[in-house]
Amino acid sequence: MIWTYIIIVIAGSVGIISYPLFRSKLQKYEIPEKYPQDPSQADTCLAALSDLEDDYALGRLSESDYNQQKIFLQRNYLESQQKSAEIEE
């Protein structure tokens, strides 16, 4: 009878400790399109790229998701840089 309680306590402890590791969901990085273009959007893209690199290095993203999101963010960064260059001219 005591072994049953020990097993239940151990299984419960392992479940409680490991629950946060398995409940985190994959984050998709998207920049809202409804906001006007401004120079800070380039900074937002760079910050998102940095977070994306960190998540990939930690193994939270698969290689295909990483490549897809990286291309998306790089294009948005270049577009915002072009628009800010056009505004300055």
Do the domain assignments include residue 18? no
Task: Name residue 64's amino acid.
Answer: S
pLDDT in tens, the chain (89 residues): 899 999 999 998 988 887 777 666 656 666 666 555 555 778 888 889 999 999 999 988 889 999 999 999 999 888 888 887 776 66
Do the domain assignments include residue 75? yes
Do the domain assignments include residue 11? no
Q: Which pLDDT belongs to residue 26?
A: 54
Q: Which pLDDT belongs to residue 37?
A: 53
Q: What's the rounded Cα separation, in Å, for the pair 47 and 65?
A: 17
How is residue 35 annotated by DSSP? S
Task: Name residue 72's amino acid.
Answer: F
Do the domain assignments include residue 67? yes
| Structural domain boundaries enclosing 79 | 27-88
Q: Which pLDDT belongs to residue 70?
A: 92
Q: Which pLDDT belongs to residue 1?
A: 86
Q: Which pLDDT belongs to residue 75?
A: 92
Domain count across the chain: 1
Q: Which pLDDT belongs to residue 8?
A: 93
Do the domain assignments include residue 22? no
